[in-house]
Amino acid sequence: MDTGNAAWMLTSASLVFLMTPGVAFFYGGMVRAKAILNMLMLSTAALAVTGVIWTLWGWSIAYAGTDVAGIFGDPASGFLLKDTMVATDGVFGSVDVKDAAYPHSIDVSFQVTFAMITVALITGALAERVKFSTWMIFVALWITFDYAPMAHMVWNHGLLSPDGPISTALGAAAHDFAGGTVVHINAAVAALVTVLIIGRRKGFPKEPFRPHNVPFVMLGAFLLWFGWFGFNAGSAFGANGTAGYAWMSTTAATSAATLGWLFTEKIRSGHYTAMGAASGMVAGLVAITPAADVVSPLWAMVLGFIAGILCCFAVGVKFKLGYDDSLDVVGVHGVGGLTGTVLIGFFGEGTGLFAGGDYKQLLVQVVIALVAILYSGVITAIISFALEKTVGWRVTEAQEVGGIDLADQGERAYDFAGTASSILKGVK
């Protein structure tokens, strides 16, 4: 065991954990004032419910259980983390793999934070209209039947892995360094399917739905960028040169994406907006995620710049097609994740079309992205439709108009009436 690797991976796990509160603020600032507490609570449920499910059987399905058809591990082998935790003299420690770079227990911790942030991303599409209780049930089911199997397929020698049957058949190793398919495409497809089932917010698209707190959005974006260093550099699974390069390629791509979004916005509207800067940051972070270790500094910036432009245009598609993806999960995470995954086929060092390779890498990247879309779409449709027909997704129309914070949380984020009353008393 290497204590430096162990320390870095514990730090990375903590950084990735911070990303979910970052998402909460990023999304929370975008909604109207009457819905911010509910938005923050949806991320809270993503943390809490996922933490329980991962401990019970999520870890086993993703990484610990005996493989079933390359799609999932059995939930019993690692149930309650029994394959990784052992007590010695009454103190729990780790059951470690021979020659491991860091304790096995740390890997459990690192991977649960990925599950948490992935399901939290979906909340941006559901803003201002879904029951908190239904969301909690959704998280438990989606982590069990969608996220954990997807992680197994991509990162645990499964169907979509570098040594899986698809890669073998197509003659190139599928590459997803830190979650282009598992996290971003997966969450975006789930978001799209769910909003198609639950329907639009009242007033969409005719009424304006303006962000109530742009500084919150910027704070969330900066927290995400900071946390993403654990997300990407931590995916090197050690304190090594790959981690250092992933840190740098993440920064280069995100910087370029921010500029790409802002330049596009300036040309279209004449302004460089704070909302655009925040969204451009996230688009770049998303796009570089699957490719952070295999694209050169030049191609990292090109990839980011392309993602910034494409995502800037993509967020407007919902108005043309009529689906209410409230906070642009599809436009940013779906398009960004797909862009990064596919562009490995062009920019991947030694394998991409423009970087010394041939068409095979591009082909395998497209195929794994399509399989991820199909799997996520089918599983999420089953879960979301079942919830719609049983417990129901939506609060009532009156509750939505009056404010979901009061309806579901029984609280307000801002006591405007109390503030106004205090001001009037001071004047008197």
Ordered by where they begin, the domains of the chain are: 8-228+237-421 (1.10.3430.10)
Q: What is the pLDDT of residue 99?
A: 83
Residues 6+ apart with CB under 8 A from 169: none
Q: What is the pTM of this model?
A: 0.95
Other C-beta atoms closer than 10 Å to the C-beta of 121 total: 29
Q: What is the pLDDT of residue 420?
A: 46
Local mean pLDDT, 10-residue blocks, the chain (428 residues): 94 98 98 96 98 98 95 96 91 88 95 98 97 98 98 97 97 97 98 98 92 97 98 97 98 98 97 98 98 98 98 96 96 98 98 96 98 98 98 96 94 73 51
Cα–Cα nearest to 46, from 136, 161, 154, 151: 136
The single-letter code of the amino acid at 261 is W
Structure tokens at 336: 């960004």
